[in-house]
A and B are shown apart, each in its own frame.
Chain A
């Protein structure tokens, strides 16, 4: 079954090229990609994920303000009924020379399941998506069945 994922570039970031590359790679990997484009707000990802029954949200950011744009996104997902949906974030997430492992700690602390740097191999991201969506579906369907 083709899984739906929502992608987009968050905040006031209008870098469109990488976004198109991601759309292309994920579509070729067999996902139904809902691409919201650039300058996407947290609620727009969540609205789109609800309507399309998406199995993951992938947030991109390249302009260095990713941290401030992403604060509270996991809580917002939970409040709006997307409990446990896989949340990925990637790109050039913070300003200044910080070690990637420190950046990863910050974003995982915010509730993102996977954090990727700007030079990640996209095949690795695809593998992570398959893996996390499988877990989410199992848990989500179990909750649904119990209800």
Chain B
């Protein structure tokens, strides 16, 4: 059995053909074409036809001879605005759910919205507004207020209501004229996160409404196969690795692109003895994405966020700092630019190091030591990744950089800007997705989870 995987990215449409074995996959062929932004199906068919060396490759998919899975992050991916009540509680739960659905979060709102919030949403409408707030049976005033404001707005995106169940009916009545889906609460009780129903609703909306505007509906009609957002596929792939590959219960997957850096982690949180965990419970698999950390489109923002870190690395030769900023301006203007000399390569390493350091820092939790009458106690918030031993690096730059020292870069952010300890490992085994196959294997995993997970890990290069 052969299977095809295609990932439609914002710049490139990549594809691979695999032979499926019992518990592994053999890469037969891969190819890449520019994404045809005007009509995504064109680039998709170019890739499919090239992979199967057949001008009518689609027929072989339709007949079932070849299985096909594909993902898309073209045209900006899935944009979600998140609305919660308290920032650290239901807004945070909404974020966790949106990230797990493969979305990027374009705007966030907490407490009562006002007219300028509504105008901000109308001016920059997301694909989906994820509307949370209140535990079940909990707070409802603000939810009603926000629902009424949204009802009177011109906003016409999809709205997923995943807040207090007690006012579901009122919200439905108020927002009945909008494109509304009501699902279970993302936080039914304070100690219980429930992202999956909202996640599933966002995936369905992506399929039924969003792909149409992106020209993917033609591919669905022709192939009978449905796309998912690329990060959604990679999130699921992270779960498959945790489930199917021995020794891979705890790991971090770093996916660094030109515009964003995604961090996925698999970790079953259990606070160590003597420590106290505060805040919301942590999910087994978690994704965060940093829209201001990337190698090209976001290079300017990286040089601002990481200015101190980068300056330290150039301290031996301060003249280099100006050259670095020139380089950043150049790659921002020319996102396809590849460095031609040692200096450019070094600057790319600095950019990548800053992306890795800050993206992992934001993904990880914090610890502070508190002095009590019974001695010191560590108070933990968020994800404790100190015991994680393995980091996978994926994305174009990391795939091609065997010498990248991820441990050293992560260690640069041992302490955050507020003096709290960042809960990241001190040293890790680094595994590189040297063939940059993870997004493509993630698609294959939808049909063949075990084979794809085992193959993905087996293909990693350790350095």
Contact = CB atoms under 8 A, between A and B. Distances in A.
Contacts of B370: 12, 39
A4 B374 CA distance: 32
A4 B90 contact: no
Given A34-B190, A47-B89, A51-B139, A14 B278 contact: no
Interface in B351-371: 370-371
A144 B137 CA distance: 18
A78 to B, nearest CB: 15
Contacts, number: 60
A52 B142 CA distance: 12
Main SS class of interface, B? loop
Contacts of A14: 276, 372, 374, 377
A53 B377 contact: no
A37 B373 CA distance: 17
Interface string B362-405: 00000000111110010100000000000000000000000000
- Most chain B CB inside 10 Å of its own CB: which residue of A34, A40, A41: A34
A48 interface: yes
- Most chain A CB inside 10 Å of its own CB: which residue of B111, B371, B373, B374: B373
Interface in A57-75: 63-64
B377 A51 contact: no
A47 B379 contact: no
Interface in B7-42: none
A14 B369 CA distance: 13
Contacts of B134: 51-53
A38 interface: yes
Nearest to B374: A14
A112 to B, nearest CB: 23
Nearest to A40: B278
A12 B373 CA distance: 8
B147 to A, nearest CB: 16
A42 interface: no
Contacts of A48: 89, 190
Interface of A: 4, 12-14, 32, 34, 36-41, 44, 47-48, 50-54, 63-64, 81, 144
13 contacts: A12-B371, A13-B372, A14-B276, A14-B372, A14-B377, A34-B190, A47-B89, A48-B89, A51-B85, A51-B86, A51-B187, A53-B137, A53-B138
